Amino acid sequence: MCHGSKQVFLPGFLPGRDSVRVPGEFPIESERHIVADAAIDFQFEPGILDICVRVLDENPKHLEDPARDCSDRRRPAYVTRVISAMINNNDDNGVLVGNWSGNYEDGVRPTAWKESGAILHKWNEQNCTGVQYGQCWVFAAVACTVSRALGIPCRVVTNYESAHDTNSNLLIERYYNEIDEDISNDSIWNFHVWLESWMTRPDLRLGYEGWQASDPTPQETSDGVYCCGPVPVRAVKEGDLSVKYDAPFVYAEVNADVVEYIVLGDDKVVKVGGSATYVGQCISTKAIGTDEREDITHHYKYPEGSIEERQVFEKANHVNRLIKNEEEPGLHAKIKLSPDMMVGSDFDVYARAINNTDTPKICRLMFYAQVVTYNGRLGATCGQMKLTEANLAPMEGSEATLRLQYSEYGKVMTQDRMIKLVALLIDLETKELQRATKTIVLDTPPIIILVPEDPKVGQPALVDVTLQNPLPDLLENCVFSLHGANLTDGTAITK
């Protein structure tokens, strides 16, 4: 267990309560469509503490030098870094095996997990063999439970439009071929989930105590191991990228610039757009004392365009902010959405071509839709508008409509219910290109839970659970799985 309670002391009972004691949820999906996911905290369930200590004992550093490892456990930053490495199974006897392939036949679908305690019990019962399968929110949920059980206050954080910078240049470079296929190494996840742990950092200078970000999802190696953090959130905000641990990677997740290119057949690279503000939207955690979302974006970054923001970029040697310093292009492509986009329905989306010059333009517009996973992996095309030509008068625009039909997207949609829209606008005279994208998450109907009678302690309780099927198809072999800390003994009630 983590000793040195002064290093993890949260001043004030109420601010710290949700980070230590309370089972909760965390927001995922998209900045437009924020929902709460499964309960994550089962640190008080029987046997969980012993399993969490076993997680530390299976750490390669402990297996190599038990005495030194146990001595280092007095430092919360050390324990947090070990947890970050041990929750994934990439290079040790870690708890979870990651899988983003869509094929989960030999394990459990990541969206099916509803409690972290079940995962830890299964890992323990399997003699420290990785549990199949997890994705970012599952890794974070398990790490949160382990951290809290070991005495480290912790909360789960969701970042929307989260960048994955593979070459540490603080820039997300998106390359597309002539048929608009993504051929990039860098990626942007629709959302990504990590942890913040509260502690002092005696290994760093004063001012870096408080919330520390760490990430157990295996993305890149750090010191040869798949782990990330802990890094002071304040260091990320201030652009102090030399601070331990992994500050450049976390900084890029919330503050990288995006630049998009098309690679033509003669290997000519043409810049077609980008954004200095796209990455790092609506950074969120569970609010204290409620199940509402708290926006903590201001903890990670100064407001876009502020004096402080510019100073931070200079400090971070963030010299690749290519977008803001250029004149706006003469052509613009924009995408608009319908207000109601329920899964199972047909709905319209719109691409708008705008001529922001004082001369007429003859343009060609391509507008299509592809299914996509939350980590940016593209799937099949599920809607495409015929190529259209538009004569745009100076300072005017034209709008095109694409109807997305369930009969098409329903056949190829993934568990994430996400569709990526792409509009590509070409000036037929100058060959100038402009590209616009937007990812949408289809709505689902709510599950309604009603308790018809006042429940009594120690007595069985009846619960009515209702879901209205939004699809035109018959749903067969459906089950409701109910979980509750200290209510279901860690076992789902399935009806």
Where along the chain do the CATH 3.90.260.10 domains lie?
Answer: 5-315
As assigned by CATH, the class of the 5-315 domain is alpha beta
Going by their DSSP bridges, the two strands 257-263 and 269-275 should be labelled as antiparallel
d(CA 45, CA 372) in angstroms, rounded, equals 37
Which one is catalytic: 62, 121, 192, 483? 192
If pLDDT is split at 50, 70 and 90, which confidence band does 42 have? low
Q: Can 228 be counted among the known catalytic residues?
A: no
- Helix (H) / strand (E) element for 249: namely helix 247-255
| pLDDT tens track for 413-442 | 988 899 999 999 988 988 888 888 899 999
Distance, in Å, from the CA atom of 315 to the CA atom of 412, rounded to the nearest integer, reads 45
For 194, the token pair is 């990590």
According to the model, what pLDDT value does residue 406 have?
Answer: 96
Of the residues 18, 69, 186, 215, only one is catalytic, namely: 215
State the pLDDT at residue 110: 92
Between CA 418 and CA 438 the distance in angstroms is: 10
Is residue 31 predicted with pLDDT exceeding 80?
Answer: no
Dihedral through CA 245, CA 247, CA 252, CA 257, nearest 10?
-160
The active-site residue, picked from 136, 227, 282, 382, is 136
The pLDDT of residue 315 is 76
More confident residue, 35 or 289: 289
214 strand-pairing partners: 195
Q: How many CB atoms lie within 10 A of CB 406?
A: 20
Mean pLDDT score, 338-365: 92
Which residue spans of the chain are classified as CATH 2.60.40.10? 331-441
| 227 included as an active-site residue | no
Name which of 52, 91, 90 is nearest 73 in CA terms: 52
Q: Is 192 in the active site?
A: yes
Paired sense of beta strands 154-164 and 281-286, if any: antiparallel
Average pLDDT, the chain: 85
Q: How confident is the model at residue 115 (pLDDT cuts 50, 70, 90)?
A: confident
Q: Which CATH number fits the domain 331-441, given the four candidates 3.40.630.30, 3.50.50.60, 3.30.565.10, 2.60.40.10? A: 2.60.40.10
Taking the C-alpha atoms of residue 252 and residue 255, their distance in angstroms, rounded to an integer, is 5
